[in-house]
Amino acid sequence: MSEPVRSTLGSLPLSRLAEPLLRRLSELLDRAAPGKGWRDLAQRAGSRGRVRLSPLDLEQCSLKVLEPEGSPSWSLLKLLGDRGCTVVELVEFLQALEHTEALQCLSHSGSLIGSPENKLRICIQPQPQNLTVGDALVLECGAVGNPIPHYQWFRNGFPLANGSKNVYMVTYVDVEHQGTYWCHVFNDREDQDSKKIEVVIGRKAMAVECAEEDLSDLQKPADLQEQSNDRPVATDKVALLIGNMSYWNHPQLKAPMVDVYELTNLLRQLDFKVVSLLDLTESEMRNAVDEFLLLLDKGVYGLLYYAGHGYENYGNSFMVPVDAPNPYRSANCLCVQNILKLMQEKETGLNVFLLDMCRKRNEYDDTILILDALKVTANIVFGYATCQGAEAFEIQQSGLANGIFMKFLKDRLLEDKKITVLLDEVAEDMGKCHLTKGKQALEIRSSLSEKRALTDPIQQTVSSAESLARNLQWAKAHELPESRYLEFKCGVQIQLGFAAEFSNVMIIYTRIVQKPPEIVVCRAYVTDFALDLDVDPKEANKGTPEETGSYLVSKDLPKHCLYTRLSSLQKLREHLIFTVCLHYEYPGIEDTMDERKEVNVGKPLIAKLGLHHGFKNNNCLQTCCMANNPFHNQIESSPVATKYYVPSHCQPNSCPGIYHPNHICSDSVRQPEACSCNGTSRILASRHEVQNYSPPVEKSNVPVETTDDTVELEFLLSDNLRFSKQQ
């Protein structure tokens, strides 16, 4: 079938293909079965010496799922076109993938390529449908022309209500929807009808009686093998990642920032829509979970990861917000099982909870939560970083930190395996680690009966309301202000740019683009931020991103700028307004000149979702409680002030739900443990505090592991901090 395409299109560059055709190809690739998707096309194209695709190129394509109408396949096709790939080459790639639908799409549209853009032409024709009652009907018509074409769908000669878009959809069809369909396409100058197609609606097969021997046939291996060939799919994939470090009344943590950042990058490669947030208060955590729940729907894969302080009482796990009082109990925390129940109500295809926190008992919280029973479903997977009653640890060296769980999880997360199998292998890897043997072991709980994996493909209903809502909501949380240029009266022009490190952390950078030759010194600062953001002037306008505490995106930022890191964007109540102050000097004049411009960039990233408001929805909080014993608040004193290794995701050993400033647990006093893997000494730090603790006077930023682009820091953690594994 390739010859008609070859003869019609010749060596036409991909960049010359009409946009509707590219859109149609993108949709086919986005929804393709395993082995025929956009990543497979990228691999085929990248094998050509002339068309080189880097890992960064593929990551940029993957991130397009965060945009309202973003498509990784669309981004890839545009990228291939920009690099000179021709239609003939695309056909060869698609033939190698045996992607017949995409090849047919190209073949049917070949005669339209190269036609004048102002001429009205239909390039995507509706296709006949054979459906049964209860199926979804989706008809599509695509046209090009100038002015922009309009659409009206007809059935049996009558115009259809809600049929004025290029896609006509009925989510649940009955026999009344059977008939002859076509689309009338028109603009101010011309009009044209699509081809007429038949939609046939059949009744669902009725149940029949089966003999016992018929039922036994269902158990045959051949039948089971045939069923296993149908790989599960997700209607979408969404993830919420929360890392709490800067606690107000409890020990500070280091690893959650690194762990959340690395998991974000990995999940995006698996086409998850990811919101990553650092340091949330109780109300912010509850509102973030509520926003996450809005994005779940039937068949969606939902993943929630939490790293921070936590505890477990009576089988229920609790995540501790950064503003939790000292001491805290369940009313101040988020109950994981309650969130899971709300996720199940959305009829999700897969629910994954990854909890990187301690699970020690909170002896000072005797509240028993009476929760409604979870539904009996086969879609729940818990990955606990440690066993019940145990601690979770970080590994630290020179300020660098990774959680033990994430250290091993990130090496396997992209593997195409059932999620429980993958976690089992992570558990085995952790079990070989000298450093945590006997102290921390991964615990997996699952009700998963299907072979579902994080790598499963996404098959969305075209233009469904749920899909659009998810894309729009996720895009809100990732919308950066556009880079802009500011002109000053003295003739200086500066660039004001923005980069996202997390969904609530943004980098602002200023760069001098142009200055008159008579100006000898010139610098542009940002200042006068809203009090909500609590920006320390001493940590703003630095010469390198690292000086601001941003080690994660430094390689992606332009050089020779001044950088300012804004965290806690979820606290922003109004538009982000700040001042750009230009300082410059003329030769022979001692006084420094000064010009200022106020800039309003709206609400960037997560600020648009208004997580700072009071609880939007108390679903995560409303439970029936019963207190068995009075709430304890006794404090024992100890003169010991020695600093031992610092636990990370929990509270003191004998009192895991409360922190006593002067209390040391006798069974917790241990010497720092070191491992000499690769000749490098390192300290194992538990997410559990065994020292005199007082909240730091001022927060300090810690270096963290970066993406693959940041080679030096990647080397430090991947090589210098890699564990020796027992053979």
Catalytic residues: 309, 358
667, 360 Cβ separation under 8 angstroms: no
Degrees, nearest 5: CA angle 234-235-241: 75
Nearest to 460 by CA among 31, 64, 127, 25: 31
Nearest to 579 by CA among 600, 556, 602: 600
Q: Where are the beta strands (DSSP E) in 148-204?
A: 150-155, 158-159, 167-170, 179-186, 191-193, 197-202
Distance CA 680, CA 723 (A): 10
**Sheet with 505-514, side-by-side order of all strands:** 484-487, 493-502, 505-514, 562-566
Q: Please, which residues bridge with residue 167 across strands?
A: 140
Q: Is the Cα dihedral 5, 10, 12, 16 positive or negative?
A: negative
Neighbours of 377 (CB within 10 A): 13
Helix (H) or strand (E) holding 73: helix 72-82
262, 590 Cβ separation under 8 angstroms: no
Close Cβ partners of 407 (under 8 Å, ≥ 6 residues apart): 395, 721, 723
Nearest to 273 by CA among 306, 241, 298: 241
Give, as one character, the DSSP assignment of residue 297. Answer: -
Distance CA 445, CA 383 (A): 7
Place of tokens 């009744």: 203
Distance CA 510, CA 694 (A): 37
Distance CA 469, CA 392 (A): 37
Neighbours of 612 (CB within 10 A): 18
389, 360 Cβ separation under 8 angstroms: yes
* Secondary structure of residue 123 in the 3-state scheme: strand
Q: What length does the chain have?
A: 727
Q: For the purposes of burial, counting CB atoms within 10 Å of the CB of 192, is it exposed (0-12), middle (13-18) or buried (19 or more)?
A: middle
Structure tokens at 110: 């070949």
Q: Please, which residues bridge with residue 596 across strands?
A: 581
20, 109 Cβ separation under 8 angstroms: no
Q: Please, which residues bridge with residue 581 across strands?
A: 525, 596
Radius of gyration of the chain (CA): 29
Q: How far apart are the first and last CA of the chain?
A: 54
145, 121 Cβ separation under 8 angstroms: yes
Q: Which amino acid is at 54?
A: S
Distance CA 273, CA 271 (A): 6
Reduce the secondary structure of 301-327 to three states and give it as a string: EEEEEEECCEEEECCEEEECCCCCCCC
Structure tokens at 671: 């010497």
Structure tokens at 452: 């579902």
